[in-house]
Amino acid sequence: MKIRIGTRGSALARWQAEHVKQRLEELGHEVTLHFITTTGDRAKGPLEAVGGKGAFLKEIEEALLAEEVDLAVHSLKDVPTALPPGLALGAILERADPRDAVVSHGATLEGLPRGARVGTTSLRRRALLLHLRPDLLVADLRGNVDTRLRRLRRGDFDAVLLAMAGLSRLGRAAEATEALDPERFVPAPGQGAIALETREGDARLRAAAGPLHHEATARAVRAERAFLAALGGGCNVPLGALARETPAGLRLVAFLAEADGRTFARAEGTGGEPEELGRRVAARIGQGASPP
């Protein structure tokens, strides 16, 4: 089967698309990559001004609906919980390391000096940083992984925060100074997972993508995305959620905060049905659950 994959052109997006391409080719499909520049790629200012993280999907989804490509490859954390009519998630790949990482000139998060300048554009990371270390100076840092690390080396920042999954996929995991405890520094919903988006009625494509699907990851991210959906969250709301299987069932830990980190609520729960678990933990957060 011939499959045209739509993807962004950043190094990380290319890695993800090439990974999916290789796996589909191993299944006997003929796969080509189509690189698409998105609104998010062109934006110079805050993402929330151009539609949030969904701005990294817009043109790819339009190409998918126009049947110019057959399959879209995304970082799941960038995918809104409500997809455009006619599109669906065809598969979720096995998740990589979901943790955030500190990359610095040698200091851990706790070891950074007072007033240290830390770079991130994520409201979630900003809120967590200021909740845990209100003495730090958190500054905006846009750009791909290479750009952010280059600015760190140049001395613009004392540390930057990045996803461990992205560093690992680009062969740069050794540059992480510290991988942060996900119980304290809760990742974004879906962080570390790759999503394959298809046209809803394209049964042949969904069947082709099916062997790449990892059900344990899918269960976890369904709980995280249900939590996100229940709170109406996006990149404009500092929140995080991570679900993992335990002997007692699927366990979800989550938080919701203000951007300055001063107002902070954390909740967790365990259950068997992912969507119900996500909604239940969101309800607890809404009632003002706080750190144990």
pLDDT of 51 over the 60 cut = no
**Half-sphere exposure at residue 257, Cβ-oriented, CA atoms within 13 angstroms:** 27
pLDDT of 42 over the 80 cut = no
User: What pLDDT sits at residue 50?
Assistant: 47
Q: How far apart are CA 232 and CA 49, in angstroms?
A: 17
User: What pLDDT sits at residue 20?
Assistant: 98
Domains and CATH numbers, the chain: 2-93+193-213 (3.40.190.10), 100-179 (3.40.190.10), 224-286 (3.30.160.40)
User: What pLDDT sits at residue 236?
Assistant: 77
Positions of E strands within the chain: 2-7, 30-35, 71-75, 87-92, 100-104, 117-119, 137-139, 159-163, 178-179, 194-199, 239-246, 249-257, 264-271
Residues marked active site are found at 78
Query: Over the stretch 125-167, which tens digit does the pLDDT of each residue have?
Result: 999 999 999 999 999 998 889 999 999 999 999 999 999 999 9
User: What pLDDT sits at residue 119?
Assistant: 97
Q: How far apart are CA 166 and CA 187, in angstroms?
A: 13
User: What pLDDT sits at residue 281?
Assistant: 97
User: What pLDDT sits at residue 143?
Assistant: 86
From first CA to last CA, the distance across the chain in angstroms is 52
pLDDT of 48 over the 70 cut = no
Cβ pair 169, 100 in contact under 8 A: no
CA distances from 192 to 3, 33, 179, 234, 236 (A): 24, 22, 13, 17, 20
Residue with tokens 């007072």: 114
Task: Quickly state the pLDDT bin for 193 (edges 50, 70, 90).
Answer: very high
pLDDT of 287 over the 80 cut = no
- State the average pLDDT for the chain: 93
CA distances from 180 to 60, 133, 164 (A): 32, 14, 9
User: What pLDDT sits at residue 289?
Assistant: 53
Picking from 243, 200, 213, 195, the residue whose alpha carbon sits closest to that of residue 72 is: 195
User: What pLDDT sits at residue 290?
Assistant: 52
User: What pLDDT sits at residue 47?
Assistant: 52
DSSP lists the bridge partners of residue 245 as: 250
pLDDT of 243 over the 80 cut = yes
Higher pLDDT, 50 or 127: 127
Q: How far apart are CA 122 and CA 61, in angstroms?
A: 23
Task: Quickly state the pLDDT bin for 292 (edges 50, 70, 90).
Answer: very low
